[in-house]
Amino acid sequence: MYALVTGASSGIGREIARQLAQRKYDLIIVARRVDELNDLKLELANAFGVNVVVKPFDLSNRDNCVKLHWECLEYDPKIIVNNAGFGRVGAFADHDLAGDLGMIDTNVTAVHILTKLFVQSMGEGRILNVASMAGFLPTPLLASYAATKAYVHHLGTAIDYELRKAKKPIRVLTLCPGPVHTEFGTVAGAEAALPGMSAKRCATIAVRGLFRNRRVILPGFTMHLTRFFLRFLPLSAILSTAYSIQKKK
Ligand SMILES: NC(=O)c1ccc[n+]([C@@H]2O[C@H](COP(=O)([O-])OP(=O)(O)OC[C@H]3O[C@@H](n4cnc5c(N)ncnc54)[C@H](OP(=O)(O)O)[C@@H]3O)[C@@H](O)[C@H]2O)c1
């Protein structure tokens, strides 16, 4: 049985791919860096004897998302992990528009397209969309990124409810990690301001939550606690705390 993992060339996606291979899933792995994908293919085929199909795609391009879905149909994947994404730290006014739109294309549009097309084409299965804790709160100095992740969170949780109501055997689950040690910080142009968990631990919690059909998966006790207390904080306190954390980056 196949699983599709986007953003599998590093970080959380690569670890999720490893853990699904360990569970004997054949894989379709996607990212732009083909060498990293080929290395992972070799590693997983040797370690677990699974088939791994490499699909080097830039998912910030809408046509590529549609093409990827089309090319996946022959494998009939039962798990889709929409993980590819990135952030940009800094003042909204300082970021160029093209960069923001590239992030929206990758974090939002690609996730929307792949979720839509797989919900429509798959008979049964699970879609895991990777959002972020940042999606729970407006985040100064990470404003556009946090807004993209709020979209992913709201879209997935609402669709999952619809599908359950319609008794369709498809789940749309949302992973909301806090800080995780990956290439994310380097790509975002920032140092980590808070201690993070390893990508392996995050992926372990994600994959466990996936098979338990958890609608929203929060990796780690601290994230559960944070989300709980966020309910009681006034917006002004949330904004000033989020600002201070991002400023440290
Ligand atoms: N690390 C954190 O603290 C953290 C916290 C919350 C949420 N997240 C989310 O977790 C997900 C994975 O991030 P990560 O932390 O594992 O960072 P990462 O190590 O930088 O991995 C990001 C992955 O996304 C792929 N990607 C980026 N842009 C792409 C594009 N246009 N087309 C195809 N693939 C693309 C990258 O591959 P290529 O560069 O090879 O294309 C890479 O495989 C992201 O959605 C991120 O927003 C991360």
7-19 pLDDT per residue, tens: 999 999 999 999 9
Pocket of ligand 1 contains residue 132 by CB under 6 Å: yes
The CA 185 to ligand 1 mean position distance, Å, reads 10
Pocket of ligand 1 contains residue 85 by CB under 6 Å: yes
Residue identifier of the C-alpha nearest atom 41 of ligand 1: 32
pTM of the model: 0.96
Whole-number pLDDT of residue 15:
98
The CA 148 to ligand 1 mean position distance, Å, reads 13
β-pair type (52-56, 170-175):
unpaired
CA distance 72 to 211: 21
**Higher pLDDT, residue 175 or 188:** 175
Pocket of ligand 1 contains residue 184 by CB under 6 Å: yes
For residue 63, the 8-state DSSP code is H
Taking the CA of residue 27 as centre, how many other CA atoms within 13 Å lie in the half-sphere pointing to its CB? 33
Whole-number pLDDT of residue 95:
96
Indicate which residues carry an active-site annotation. 145
Q: What is the pLDDT of residues 44-79, one digit of tens each?
A: 999 999 999 999 999 999 999 999 999 999 999 999
* Residue of 32, 200, 216 to mutate, ligand 1, most atoms within 8 A of C-beta: 32
Poorest-pLDDT segment among 53-57, 68-72, 188-192, 227-231: 188-192
Over residues 223-244, mean pLDDT:
91
- The residues, ordered by sequence, that sit 6+ positions from 140 with a Cβ below 8 Å of its Cβ are 239, 242, 243, 246
Pocket of ligand 1 contains residue 89 by CB under 6 Å: no
Specify the residue for token string 């994230």: 223
**Average model confidence (pLDDT) across the chain:** 96
Please report, rounded to a whole number, the percentage of residues in the chain having pLDDT higher than 70: 99
CA distance 244 to 31: 33
- The rounded radius of gyration (Å) of the Cα atoms in the chain is 17
Residue identifier of the C-alpha nearest atom 42 of ligand 1: 7
Specify the residue for token string 């600002």: 243
Region at 108 (left for phi over 0; alpha for psi -120 to 50; beta for the rest): alpha
The Cβ of residue 99 has, within 10 Å, a number of other Cβ atoms equal to: 12
Q: Over 90: is that where the pLDDT of 126 sits?
A: yes
Q: Over 70: is that where the pLDDT of 43 sits?
A: yes
The CA 178 to ligand 1 mean position distance, Å, reads 14
Of 81, 74, 109, the C-alpha closest to 172 is 81
DSSP secondary structure, 169-205, as one string: SEEEEEE----EESSHHHHHT---SS--EEHHHHHHH
Atom of ligand 1 nearest to the CA of 179: 3
Taking the CA of residue 207 as centre, how many other CA atoms within 13 Å lie in the half-sphere pointing to its CB? 21
Over residues 192-215, mean pLDDT:
93
Pocket of ligand 1 contains residue 139 by CB under 6 Å: no
Atom of ligand 1 nearest to the CA of 61: 31
Q: What is the pLDDT of residues 74-125, one digit of tens each?
A: 999 999 999 999 999 999 999 999 999 999 999 999 999 999 999 999 999 9
Pocket of ligand 1 contains residue 82 by CB under 6 Å: no
Whole-number pLDDT of residue 74:
98
Over residues 155-174, mean pLDDT:
98
Whole-number pLDDT of residue 193:
66
The CA 235 to ligand 1 mean position distance, Å, reads 28
Over residues 211-235, mean pLDDT:
93
Whole-number pLDDT of residue 247:
85
| Residue 28 three-state SS | strand
CA distance 134 to 117: 26
> What CATH number is given for 2-248 in this structure?
3.40.50.720
The CA 7 to ligand 1 mean position distance, Å, reads 6
